[in-house]
Amino acid sequence: MAVEKHGGNSMSGIIHGIMAQANYRAWEESLHGKRAVDLGKKECTRCGACCARRPCIPTPSELKKIAEYLHTSARETIRKYFVIDRMWLRPEYFIFPAKTTQRDLTGEFVPSDRTFDRGYCVFFDQERKACKIYPVRPKTAREQNCWQEDDSKATEQALAAWKRCDIKKQFNIDFNEE
């Protein structure tokens, strides 16, 4: 039985993915109690829960702004801080900040067994509880509010922008999907 990415290449890959996702969700639940929504607040408490969830997805133009802010090329920024992925059953590839536990994958495609790695976004400063690229953080990060229902309009807009982008050509990045 052949299974398309993101389910793995076999039934054991699917089972591993389900277990990894369940494990990730349990870890994510451990962050509860500190979030604004848990405390009944309507402003960010800088707990880091948003930055511990799957990191935000910048558009290609936002990625270029992040690179400028970091005083490096977009290609080098991707190679140092970002990973490439594709949502299950969606054709477009996109780039997003690696989690701290995915630093070994920066500049590469995230294998399905690493999709739900634990950890904070590489741009989250855990000591200061602040975003290292705050002035140029993507719209998906600016619009995250744990005290409001998550509507993924910004994420859908970012994915639509990536759909129109050929990552390999535009950013001169070569990657292989698993």
Residue 7 is predicted with a pLDDT of 42
Residue 63 is predicted with a pLDDT of 96
How far, in Å, CA of 178 to CA of 165, rounded? 20
Question: Where exactly are the structural domains of the chain?
Answer: 11-170
**Whole-Å CA distances, 43 to 6, 38, 136, 146, 148:** 35, 12, 20, 9, 10
Tens-digit pLDDT profile for residues 8-38: 456 766 776 677 677 767 766 776 667 778 8
pTM for the full predicted model: 0.78
Reply yes or no on whether the pLDDT at 2 is more than 60: no
Count CB-CB contacts under 10 A for residue 136. 18
Q: What is the token pair recorded at 162?
A: 């990536």
